[in-house]
A and B are shown apart, each in its own frame.
Chain A
């Protein structure tokens, strides 16, 4: 009797939580979508209303064509930055984490200190620009990739290091006896076992880097260097009154990270909970 009442209560709480979550997470999406398909005049009213006239295709073409297909260039740039930076974060994060965990030395404390500093101290923009200029990397995609790697590396090293500590050292030694070189131990035994963390890291970092607005704004000025988030910035100044196009642009920019998330969703949850070596 009380058990059944308990279950009913639990279900009700669940339903309320679900409704609450959908309001928070779905409504903004719906709003963006509705704004994106409205006409210019209707969008200017900022109402949460059903569009009187659907202009989906028209708005889409307008946004893509704007400024000589700038959005496509931005997609390209952002993709290059994201793929490049995430690849380096995965490889270097795993390598540093591996060496740090497996080879204790007097330097470990120093390296740890650096990693924690990298995690806690906020980066200063102007000196970073000086450094980039000195290296000849300012306003270049490569410079931007390195910046993203520098900002994300501390986190990925910590993540990898703690995961690698759950991989028994016997595995390394078995591989060494089997004749593996240190590189082969890493790439053929350790790295494959890190897949759960790697997936998590890829998702988290690629969404963050793809969606990054401020860093490209500081470090990557120039029309040919535009990234997706900066297209919003350009639109807003150019189409002061064309909010329908602005929202269409937001919609387009939001889709790739959403796809990544939906695609990897299950592995992320698995990755958060899994140990490296099961029973």
Chain B
């Protein structure tokens, strides 16, 4: 079931709702077969950008190309895309079979072809026993799979996902992440995936696009973003727990913002760079997350190994690993 695939190219895309500009000029190339994730805080325009690519929303200016073809003014159905919605958007009055086959029946395909394609998609997603149920008789994960099945049968070149996992519980989300990655490998189609969960972005993406306020902040592979964030915004967004970010002057550095990741700090007694009071300790087994109050800097999060349990209220020395510090911008 290998599918055709296509690149997606955005050239200076802008979108305004009334007087408010939501997408402020986006240039992006998504290679054919790539798993591209849009991340960013709520309201930064991720969904809007995805809807522009899908054709549900018209661009104010700019050009969208899919598979080398200018589709800026094309109908959604003529773009070779399929979309999976956060709410799944299954047709409540149709059975799973008819939900998956809806697009095919609109395209007036022969009944046998439809049946065969629906059966193949259902087989791939383990939906075969559920084909005659209505959506309301399905669990969240099953609905999710039906929505994906509805996308697959259309043989799209590009899959668009808008926060497809956010309605699932943590365990199911982890499982669906793996299933989606498998699906991507199996189909080889281009996938564009919107999320505000940086774990989803890090685990699934070939390419992450960090959006902020309608602009691209940085584009790169997960490890590029982790190792070389271009701005405090990206640095704070990628990685968990969040990077510690301080005003440069307060940290005694010649830069606007100084950043150090919790995993790149170690607790040490001899010649610490900072000393703080332990406010809270989270034991995760493999690691211990320590929250310190450092005078002059504020809160500092340290990821220590699982054997270390500093007492709450005690005083602790901290030192950064050399070469792992980030300095953003010139000093003010």
Contacts and interface: CB of A to CB of B under 8 A. Distances in A.
Interface stretch (B86-94, B181-189, B233-241, B324-332): B86-94
Given A179-B106, A278-B136, A173 B150 contact: no
B82 interface: yes
B83 interface: yes
A173 B85 contact: yes
A174 B92 contact: no
Nearest to B138: A279
Contacts of A170: 85-87, 89
A174 B89 contact: yes
A190 to B, nearest CB: 10
B87 A179 contact: no
A195 B83 CA distance: 27
B87 A178 contact: no
Interface in B58-111: 76-77, 81-83, 85-87, 89-93, 102-103, 106-107
Nearest to A185: B106
A65 B102 CA distance: 54
Q: How large is the interface on A (under 10, 10 to 19, 20 to 34, 35 or more residues)?
A: 20 to 34
Interface in A136-193: 168, 170-171, 173-180, 184, 188-189, 192-193
Contact of A168 (B82, B83, B89, B102): B89
A234 to B, nearest CB: 46
A233 B93 CA distance: 46
A174 B99 CA distance: 10
Contacts, number: 56
Main secondary structure, interface of A, reads helix
Contact of A177 (B81, B86, B136): B81
A277 interface: yes
Nearest to A178: B103
A111 to B, nearest CB: 21
Contacts of A35: none
Given A173-B56, A175-B102, A178-B154, A193 B93 contact: yes
Contacts of A173: 56, 83, 85, 89
A177 B83 contact: yes
Contact of A176 (B77, B91, B107): B77
A279 B107 CA distance: 29
Contacts of B85: 170, 173-174
B54 interface: yes
Contacts of A175: 91, 102
Nearest to B103: A178
B87 A193 contact: no
Given A184-B106, A278-B136, A279-B136, A176 B56 contact: yes
Interface residues of B, number: 22
Nearest to B107: A179
A15 B85 CA distance: 52
A177 B150 CA distance: 11
Interface string B119-130: 000000000000
Interface string A242-279: 00000000000000000000000000000000001111
B45 to A, nearest CB: 18
A61 B150 CA distance: 61
Contacts of B56: 173, 176-177
A171 B89 contact: yes
A168 B88 CA distance: 11
B98 to A, nearest CB: 10
Nearest to B83: A177
Interface of A: 168, 170-171, 173-180, 184, 188-189, 192-193, 195, 276-279
17 contacts: A168-B87, A168-B89, A171-B91, A174-B85, A175-B91, A176-B77, A177-B76, A177-B81, A177-B103, A178-B77, A178-B103, A178-B106, A192-B93, A193-B93, A195-B93, A276-B92, A279-B136
Given A184-B106, A276-B92, A277-B92, 12 more contacts: A168-B87, A168-B89, A170-B85, A171-B89, A171-B91, A173-B85, A174-B90, A175-B102, A177-B76, A177-B82, A177-B83, A179-B106
Interface of B: 54, 56, 76-77, 81-83, 85-87, 89-93, 102-103, 106-107, 136, 150, 154
Lowest 10 A-B CB distances belong to which pairs? A178-B103, A179-B77, A170-B89, A174-B89, A192-B93, A170-B85, A278-B136, A179-B106, A177-B76, A277-B92
